[in-house]
Chain A
Amino acid sequence: MMNDDTLMLYFYEEGLSDSERRDVALALEHDAELSTYYAALCRDLEQLREAPSTDAPQHLKHQWHAMIAQAAQLERGKAATTPPRGFHWGWLGTAAATVMVAFVIGTQFGHQPDPAAIRGTTLAADSTDGNVAAGAFSRGLQVYLENASVDLERLQQRSPDDQAALIAEIVRQNRMFELAAESRNVSDVARLMRAIEPVLLQLASDDISAAEADALRMQLSFELNALLTKVAQSTSEVTETI
């Protein structure tokens, strides 16, 4: 019987001479046992193609996007930290909301209740804390999304430097809220926020055409509105709970 190595090379369609390939083909045609054996080998090899796959962690993707953005900026010779001159006052509100979100995240990760206390009277208080944190998160996110929508609509009225700085700020806020959404297990919101980031970064590129920029702004507007609707729904649910 032909050995596995030869059959494997036959499967890969390389590593055998023409005459060797012909010999294998002939043997498979006339030897039912070999043919069955080869079919099983092929099944195994095909199954091995479905090797498990691991997605890249989200923070790495952020890092890679940021690296390209930075490399592009360096090439353009722009200062990386130029503040937006026409800074929108609404962003102060968002900054405050972000501080609240940071607090919420800190509460989520840093909260290590005393196991003995959990059984007793603190249950009701924890539940109220949770609702307050959920409310703070939703309101903060709402403020961020509304400001981002307004600023993106007016983006073209700004200077190129201001546009870049503003988008960098929106990306930063977006990541903060994405992290908060993850920590609160609001995975559908986190997923939508992840989807927004590459679009924002593309919009920040200075090498896209005006038509491409318009299309990206429309896409962003759609995504932000979808998020706002989702957040508005969850906010009303939280209010009802409180």
Chain B
Amino acid sequence: MTKRAHADGVPTQSEFHQVIAERSDRWYATCLRITRDPDMAADAVQDALLSAWNKRQQFDRNAQLDTWIHRIAVNAALQLLRRRKPERWAPLPAEPADESMRPELAQTARDLDRSLSAAMVELSDMEQVCFVLKHLEQWRLAEIAEELNSNVGTIKQALFRGVKKLRVGMADLRSAI
């Protein structure tokens, strides 16, 4: 087999396989948290991998391949969410719609871990995405606003509301224990 060293700094096929083996659980989990839909999460990771492979010449060798693909996967998940469920991606309503009984979300919550996931079902898509991007992915507020075509004030409000709902869920859990 012709072995070509990766002296040019472009990620190799071998490195892609290695990073899939080691990190794809994390990409998938993040995409699942964003989309709350296993099929969309799977598609997001697949789109991200293909996109990363096709654009690997643009990869900055000083960065981590895992982190680069992770970021592409997050963007892919957001794109899919907006494209496939535009009705759930409306600007923040004054009073958030009651989504707690949506069957597909309830099913996903059962698939995910219990306690906190149960509280997450109470979040609107906007609140969920803002929470995941800020709290778990640690994006800057301005970055989130830009990615979601929104403004920092709106993102803050969605984040505050999301965190408050989750804290209520946590308090309920503690009192139940």
Interface pair A72/B13, CB less than 8 Å apart: yes
A61 touches B5 (CB 8 A): no
**Minimum CB–CB distance for A179 against chain B, Å:** 18
Is B141 touching A54 in the complex (CB atoms < 8 A)? no
Residues in chain A near residue B163, CB distance under 8 A: 8, 45, 48
Smallest distance from the beta carbon of B17 to chain A beta carbons, Å?
4
Question: Chain A interface mostly helix, strand, loop or mixed?
Answer: helix
Q: Contact check, B14 vs A207: say whether CB atoms are below 8 A apart.
A: yes
Chain B contacts of A209 at CB under 8 A? 3-5
Q: Judge whether A68 and B13 touch: CB under 8 Å.
A: yes
Say yes or no: is A5 at the interface (Cβ < 8 Å to chain B): yes
Would you give the shortest CB distance from A191 to chain B, in whole angstroms?
13
Is B24 part of the contact surface with A, judged by Cβ < 8 Å? yes
Q: Is the CB of B156 within 8 A of A64?
A: no
Interface size on B, residues (CB 8 A): 52
Q: How far is the CA of A63 from the CA of B50 in the complex (A)?
A: 12
B residues 143-171 in Cβ contact with A at 8 Å: 152, 156, 159-160, 163-164, 166-167, 170
Chain B binding surface, main DSSP class: helix
Indicate if A185 sits at the interface (CB-CB under 8 A). Answer: no
CB of A205 within 8 A of CB of B12, answer yes
State whether A206 touches B28 (Cβ < 8 A). Answer: no
Is the beta-carbon distance between A68 and B16 smaller than 8 angstroms?
yes
Determine whether B67 belongs to the interface, using a CB cutoff of 8 Å to chain A. Answer: no
Report the count of interface residues on A (CB-CB < 8 A): 48
A52 / chain B contacts, CB cutoff of 8 Å: 112-117
- Of A15, A204, A207, chain B has the most CB atoms within 10 Å of the CB of A207
A9 CB contacts on chain B under 8 angstroms: 156
Contact with B along A188-230 (1 / 0, CB 8 A): 0000000001100110111111101100000000000000000
A-B contact pairs, 14 of them (CB 8 A): A4-B160, A12-B141, A14-B141, A45-B163, A48-B131, A48-B135, A52-B114, A55-B28, A64-B45, A202-B18, A205-B14, A206-B2, A208-B12, A208-B14
B-binding residues in A (CB < 8 A): 4-5, 8-9, 12, 14-15, 44-45, 47-57, 60-61, 63-65, 67-69, 71-72, 155-156, 160, 163-164, 197-198, 201-202, 204-210, 212-213
